[in-house]
Structure 1
Amino acid sequence: MTKPNSGSPGGKRRLPFRVSAERWMPLLGRIKRWFIVAGCCMAVFMIAAFCFLFYLRHQTLPASSISQTSQILDFQGNVIDTFHAGENRQSVPLNRISPYLLEATLAIEDQRFYDHLGFDMKGMARAALVNLEHMKAKQGASTLTQQLARNLYLTHERTWKRKLKEAMYTIQLEMQYSKDDILGMYLNQIYYGHGAYGAEAAAQLYYGKHAADLTLAESAMLAGIPKGPKYYSPYMDMKNAKDRQRTILSIMADQGILTGVQAEEAGNELLQFQPLGTKQQGGFAPYFRDYIRIIAVDRLGIDEHLLSEGGIRIYTTLDSEAQQAAEDAIGQSIPSASQQQAALISIDPRNGYIKAMVGGRNYKNNQFNRVFADTRQPGSSFKPILYLTALQEGAMSPISRFKSAPTVFTYDEGRKTYAPRNYNDKYAKGEIDMRQAIASSDNIYAVSAIMKVGPEKVIEMARRLGIDNKMEPVPSLALGTFPVSPFEMASAFGTIGNGGVRVEPTAIVRIEDRKGEVLYQAKPEEKQVVNPAQAYVLTGLMESVFDAGGTGNRVSAMIKRPVAGKTGTTATDAWLVGYTPELATAVWVGYDKDRKLTPAEAHRAAPIFAAYTEKALAAIPPKIFPVPDGVVSVYIDPATGKLASNSCPNKRLEAFVSGTEPTEVCGEHGDKPVSADDAKGQAEQSKSWWQQLKRWWKD
């Protein structure tokens, strides 16, 4: 039985609704008007676009921006280096550039170059999604044409006005030149690092051959450099360069340009690079100049093209006379035929200014800057940081005594032992104090000290002084078993020499644009990280390194001024780190491949330090380290550590943080202690004698 439709009389079915023609007519009219309006708008837009393109087609492109020489100047205002794009650019037609380089460049920079009209909409959409996902500018989508427009006609400032102009010039380039013309201009203009502009100059610089003769492996390596020469140049970072080369080869294989076997073979090929020529990278202070470029680009955000072409002036902290003294000291102390390497970094502790930097013995053959190598153990040169910790914590004073004899130390709640030895197994076989331990570099005393103060405290002190490398709280830390760079050591010792005030090391004082407007002005951060009295007491103790019996005594005659420092020697590394009131200097010598040092090779750090320090400060009169508040000086009996009496035969003037000086008088001679006035007078007499001796040696 059929159920009748509830909505129709008699059970008859009907349509759910029915619209009459009269109801449709107004809706159709509105739709028709919408189409007419939309069509008119589209027509107006098309006409406007046609007129705009017609206008651009007949507009002359502006003359490409003329690059100007940028300069690096030393602290005295002398030019020590220049950058100019035109100095190393050799334009060649596209048919004289290896097809491998063309394919590799397109693969990594603009895969749809021959398909788009200057803007890669698909690439832009993909980049937008990636950037949205990471909530920051993670990926760009500039085509080769956009890059060419930017580099030829515009600055690299990030403004909407510049972006609009870039878009206009991109359209004009696409309308006025063929794709091959644009690609040819790009490959003749792009910067490949180290002063080389264009594929031909780059091929000559890196491989010593013409761009037409580049192999697949060479081309893939070269194509990866323009993205960031400071990161992908094989001269700066071979690992980054090799990783990027293999990425490019993989992309080419994915696109069907290469087979997987070809890509793998090219990636495994051992490339032969030309030594960087002296014109581009030799000359004066090359390691420092590289450092300036890295600081300017990486830390200060100066665009590489602005640095190379923008006519900017970079005023640095380099003292050319000190730099020459550093290069001479290393050159004269190590035989020319030796493969031994060296590094020297010198900082003015009062303001943090880097005065000299030598990162190696032959920049042309090896551009690695050993000043920043953080893989070298400092050995005993690390001990002053331990003793500063002990003084700062109040755990020890200059007369704290430990026995110098073979000792087995237990740590880690008794589960582990450590048995250090002195150099050549030489021990005092009796108790010694901190001054004697520093002068003779006694390892047993140092480990005894770290067991008392705690290695965690020593690591904390190292961090305050600017040493960031990984360290573990173990007894061997006292003997400098964890790597640190010469740069960090010089900065740390400079803090001690500056009364405990750490000033951030500075290499660039000011940067000006071509109009003289200041783009950057240095404001070094200063912070009191150590008590001045304790820093001064340690400085006095470290002066004994250059006294009779000290490990630096053999070069004491070369230094005609007060100086504090510490030697350090391991099987593969030798150091001398020290300072005067004006300069803190770290010298390292060793081999790049951890070859063991002979005794003669290990003794070269100290003469380099001494020769450099005296020559760099030749025009500056000797100065004593200023005595801060909170320091008292008393005469002690070295044998007992007690106050010396007037008749003690071997009394020694010693500085203490006020309140830590001894109060008990040596009773062996039965008379009263030396008075404060006597101590002051004898101290002045002692310093006068020292100055007379120094003048005698100098004459």
Structure 2
Amino acid sequence: MKKLIQFGAAIFSGGVIVAVAMAILIPSVARVASAVEGGDGAIDVSQFQDYAVRSQVFASDGSLIATLHAAENRDPVPLSAMPDTIKDAVLSVEDAQFYEHIGINLRGLFRALVENVQSGEVEQGGSTITQQLVKKALLSDERVLNRKTKEAALAIRLEGQVTKDEILELYLNTVYFGNGAYGVQAAAETYWGKPVADLTLVDSALLASLISNPVGNDPILHPKKAKSERKLALDRMADNGVITSAQAAEFDAMPLPVGRCTGVVAGFRPTDCGGITQPPEESYFVQEVRQQLLADTRLGATYEERYAQVFGGGLKIYTTLDPIAQNAAQDAHDNTFPANVRAEADSKGITTAMVSVESATGAVRALVGGPGFADYKYDIATHEPGRQTGSTFKTFVLLTALEQGVLPDDTVGGGGSWPNPGSTPNPYVITGGGGTLNGVTASSSNGAFVRLGQTVGLENVMYTAQRLGVSSQFDPRAKSMPLGVFDVTPLEMASAYSAIPNGGVREPSYFIDRVEDRTGTVLIEHAANPTRGVSWQSACLATQILANNVQYGTGTNAQLNGQPAAGKTGTTESNSNTWFVGFTPQLTTAVWMGI
């Protein structure tokens, strides 16, 4: 009897509250909406689209290689791209009368008021999808009558301005589905590794069940709870005639997703998620792209502005990466370090880096920055200070000599002794035979190149390297400079060498072709900036000499089955740094291995 009285009181109280609420609500519509917009009472609909949108990174062939987002992973899609299954599931669970009400559902509101009176607290919202959208975009989450009145008023106003389909599209692109996924597209990718268009009915039922409690109903962390909530969603769909009770029972027996379909991997081989390939979220190449964008003032005057653009501005970032070249580079790394060798190499601190640059343009086509980004995020290929270059630096001595008129068949003397005041050892003594310029390059004679450096002038060698883009600091007093005792990054070495097959003209290396905002406006676009590093004649002669080195000298392992190739090897003391920098007519590559 007590419960019956309580229920009757609840109904009576609920009716009174509804009547009072409506009396307050009706004159509040224009007043509240006007306050939000500040003038004519119309709601600024753009406020509902003021959300973070993930940015996308594309390879040179247009394929997606990464997405960049902060806390909110969102990729808005039009309602027309969403299957009926997701619309039906969400409406069945959240707002079955969506296409019938005016923004508020009096039956739902009354039911919520009854439950609130019974409990003595404001527990149930009774909100329509339109109200939920308004609350998220314009109001606080506080559950008080004044807020509910504003929410209802704005919902009615919004439904008078835009269509039901527009409201549903906004809602499905903003609602949170857990695990960082905002909107149905990101949710479909996160749980099943597929686009929203491929969502099945049972997939859609799970997503609909997540809206009310995306953390508590998480199918990965709380599978039992998630399965129970999915069943409720399926039952709601059956109640609304979307499916039959038999279908609901059949779908209830289907498995839940067991993990997130994203992950960090080395290189660019996509992770696998139920047969669906997913691009990695991060890699050495993407890390470099991200760092460059965060430093580019064209995306904002402050770091905070640039961060918001990169991770929430919905940018389309078109890069220079060639997936075929990248996978070939990763294969070369993996074949050098199979699993059994990798463990031993790791124990000794041995790692590798490789970068390939298109000689004519400077476009970076492939990058391996270390043993694997998941475990080793420091990018040896691009980050200062670099590594000692060993004999690969002799190419700058070679080019300087050619610029001064030395010819391939001219004789170069061997080692000797030179005063070395203020340094050790003093005098500086080096051994190694002489011969023709062509011959001492093929044999990589230390003595001959130290002598040649003294002949052409080490300051001139330094200037040659700098004209070709090497930014490292050199001491021209160091007699050992030709032997590569100063640190240079693999990227700078590849970029510098790339001028040789390009007729002596250097194009600075770059990773980003262009960046567009979500409207298609171009914010950043690469512009060629060619500079002459050495003469065309010197570049041609250097190509000839370095090609001979690959055919007959220290670089024979770089032969390419008849394809033209040229380059120079290099090592430092105890093989702590081992290099090869070489080129074909199209591509220049620097490879480093060491400790």
| TM-score, with structure 1 as normaliser | 0.47
**Structure 2 residue 484 is matched with structure 1 residue 480:** yes
CA 1:586 to 1:300, structure 2 compared with 1: closer, same or farther past 3 Å? Answer: farther
Deviation of the 1:503 alpha carbon: 0.6
Q: 2:546 aligns with which of 509, 526, 542?
A: 542
**Structure 2 residue 264 is matched with structure 1 residue 281:** yes
1:420 matched residue in structure 2: 430
1:317 maps to a residue whose letter is T
**Structure 2 residue 342 is matched with structure 1 residue 336:** yes
The Cα offsets for residues 176-229 of structure 1, whole Å up to 9 and x where unpaired, read as: 99xxxxxxxxxxx9xxxxx899xxxxxxxxxxxxxxxxxxxxxxxxxxxxxxxx
**Structure 2 residue 524 is matched with structure 1 residue 520:** yes
The Cα offsets for residues 309-357 of structure 1, whole Å up to 9 and x where unpaired, read as: 2222111111000000000001101222222211011000101111001
Q: Indicate conservation of the 8 Å contact 1:497/1:535, yes or no.
A: yes
CA 1:547 to 1:76, structure 2 compared with 1: closer, same or farther past 3 Å? Answer: same
The Cα offsets for residues 48-105 of structure 1, whole Å up to 9 and x where unpaired, read as: xxx99x946999894462333321111111111123456669xxxxxxxxxxxxxxxx
1:336 maps to a residue whose letter is R
SS of residue matched to 1:576? strand
CA 1:300 to 1:499, structure 2 compared with 1: closer, same or farther past 3 Å? Answer: farther
SS of residue matched to 2:416? coil
1:75 maps to a residue whose letter is S
Equivalent-residue separation in structure 2 for 1:479 and 1:196 (angstroms): 53
The Cα offsets for residues 448-477 of structure 1, whole Å up to 9 and x where unpaired, read as: 101111111111111101111110012111
2:567 matched residue in structure 1: 565
Equivalent-residue separation in structure 2 for 1:352 and 1:497 (angstroms): 12
CA 1:517 to 1:541, structure 2 compared with 1: closer, same or farther past 3 Å? Answer: same
Equivalent-residue separation in structure 1 for 2:494 and 2:321 (angstroms): 16
Residue ranges of structure 1 left out of the alignment (5+ in a row): 1-50, 90-151, 154-167, 171-175, 178-188, 190-194, 198-276, 422-426, 592-699
Deviation of the 1:541 alpha carbon: 0.5
Q: 2:587 aligns with which of 562, 583, 596?
A: 583
1:407 matched residue in structure 2: 416
Equivalent-residue separation in structure 1 for 2:490 and 2:57 (angstroms): 24
Equivalent-residue separation in structure 1 for 2:66 and 2:591 (angstroms): 25
1:367 maps to a residue whose letter is K
CA 1:375 to 1:310, structure 2 compared with 1: closer, same or farther past 3 Å? Answer: closer
1:382 maps to a residue whose letter is F
SS of residue matched to 2:524? strand
**Structure 2 residue 327 is matched with structure 1 residue 324:** yes
The Cα offsets for residues 599-641 of structure 1, whole Å up to 9 and x where unpaired, read as: xxxxxxxxxxxxxxxxxxxxxxxxxxxxxxxxxxxxxxxxxxx
Deviation of the 1:521 alpha carbon: 1.6
CA 1:283 to 1:440, structure 2 compared with 1: closer, same or farther past 3 Å? Answer: closer
The percentage of aligned residue pairs carrying the same residue is: 33
Residue ranges of structure 2 left out of the alignment (5+ in a row): 1-30, 75-135, 141-145, 148-173, 175-179, 183-259, 269-282, 300-305
Q: 1:435 aligns with which of 410, 435, 438?
A: 438
Equivalent-residue separation in structure 1 for 2:284 and 2:363 (angstroms): 16
**1:375-524 counterparts in 2 under 5 A?**
375-394=386-405, 396-404=406-414, 407-411=416-420, 416-421=426-431, 427-428=432-433, 431-473=434-476, 474-524=478-528
Q: 1:294 aligns with which of 291, 294, 299?
A: 291
Equivalent-residue separation in structure 2 for 1:559 and 1:361 (angstroms): 28
Equivalent-residue separation in structure 1 for 2:412 and 2:422 (angstroms): 22
Deviation of the 1:399 alpha carbon: 2.3
Deviation of the 1:283 alpha carbon: 5.5
Q: Indicate conservation of the 8 Å contact 1:505/1:524, yes or no.
A: no
Equivalent-residue separation in structure 2 for 1:524 and 1:580 (angstroms): 21
CA 1:509 to 1:87, structure 2 compared with 1: closer, same or farther past 3 Å? Answer: same
**Structure 2 residue 83 is matched with structure 1 residue 74:** no
| TM-score, with structure 2 as normaliser | 0.55
**1:94-493 counterparts in 2 under 5 A?**
279-282=262-265, 284-285=267-268, 286-299=283-296, 301-302=298-299, 303-334=306-337, 335-337=341-343, 338-339=345-346, 340-373=350-383, 374-394=385-405, 396-404=406-414, 407-411=416-420, 416-421=426-431, 427-428=432-433, 431-473=434-476, 474-493=478-497
Equivalent-residue separation in structure 2 for 1:351 and 1:55 (angstroms): 56
Greater RCO, CA 8 A, separation 6+ = 2
Deviation of the 1:493 alpha carbon: 0.1
Q: Indicate conservation of the 8 Å contact 2:60/2:319, yes or no.
A: yes
Q: Indicate conservation of the 8 Å contact 2:266/2:374, yes or no.
A: no
**1:623-642 counterparts in 2 under 5 A?**
none
SS of residue matched to 1:384? helix
Equivalent-residue separation in structure 1 for 2:329 and 2:411 (angstroms): 38
The Cα offsets for residues 210-261 of structure 1, whole Å up to 9 and x where unpaired, read as: xxxxxxxxxxxxxxxxxxxxxxxxxxxxxxxxxxxxxxxxxxxxxxxxxxxx
CA 1:278 to 1:351, structure 2 compared with 1: closer, same or farther past 3 Å? Answer: farther
CA RMSD of aligned residues (A): 3.4
Equivalent-residue separation in structure 1 for 2:362 and 2:399 (angstroms): 20
Equivalent-residue separation in structure 2 for 1:79 and 1:413 (angstroms): 56
